[in-house]
Amino acid sequence: MGSRKVKYGGTVEKIVQLITDLGPMSTCELCEELGVNRMYVSAVLSRMRRPTKTLPKRLYVIRYLYQMESAKNYPRAVFALGDKRDAPKPKSDARASRKASDQRRRALNTMNSVFNLATPRREYRL
């Protein structure tokens, strides 16, 4: 049982071809097109975003999208080919995230459940 070295060359070529043909794409879109794991594509993309001794930076972040891939509303990078500067990552809105957190907590505490019987009164006050 020896270790198996993964060859990224084929995936890199496929990613370059997809972005050339279809235009800028996010990690999720690349995963769907390639039919591979998101973690694998993320690893390849991070290697392509960094310059090496032999190759320049091959991808850059052109913009950020808010996709609801999971329950979190998180900015997702959209990649384009080139050696340009990355777009700045948008700052999070602390007020909006606090409001959403308070709404989730309020809904959890006001639910009629046997699990809330042992909750202290101070937990119900927000």
pLDDT band at 113; cut points 50, 70, 90: low
Write out pLDDT tens, residues 81-96. Answer: 999 999 999 887 788 8
pLDDT band at 1; cut points 50, 70, 90: very low
Average pLDDT over residues 102-114: 72
Which backbone phi and psi does 26 adopt, to 5 degrees? -90, 170
The answer to whether residue 46 is domain-embedded is yes
The answer to whether residue 73 is domain-embedded is yes
Q: How many CB atoms lie within 10 A of CB 79?
A: 23
Pairing of strands 25-26, 59-67: unpaired
Write out pLDDT tens, residues 46-80. Answer: 999 999 899 899 999 999 987 755 556 778 899 99
Residues 8, 10, 16, 21: is their CA dihedral positive or negative?
negative
- The tokens describing 108, both together, are 């959890």
Domain residue limits at 105: 94-124
- Rounded-to-10 torsion of CA 108, 113, 114, 118: 40
pLDDT at position 10 is: 84
Question: Which segments within the chain are labelled E, that is strand?
Answer: 25-26, 59-67, 74-81
Domain check: are 62 and 32 in the same one?
yes
Does pLDDT of 22 surpass 90?
A: yes
The answer to whether residue 4 is domain-embedded is no
pLDDT at position 125 is: 53
The answer to whether residue 1 is domain-embedded is no
| Number of domains within the chain | 2
The answer to whether residue 36 is domain-embedded is yes
- Whole-angstrom distance, CA of residue 1 vs CA of residue 28: 33
Domain check: are 51 and 110 in the same one?
no
Average pLDDT over residues 24-40: 90
pLDDT at position 111 is: 60
Q: What percent of the chain has pLDDT over 70?
A: 74
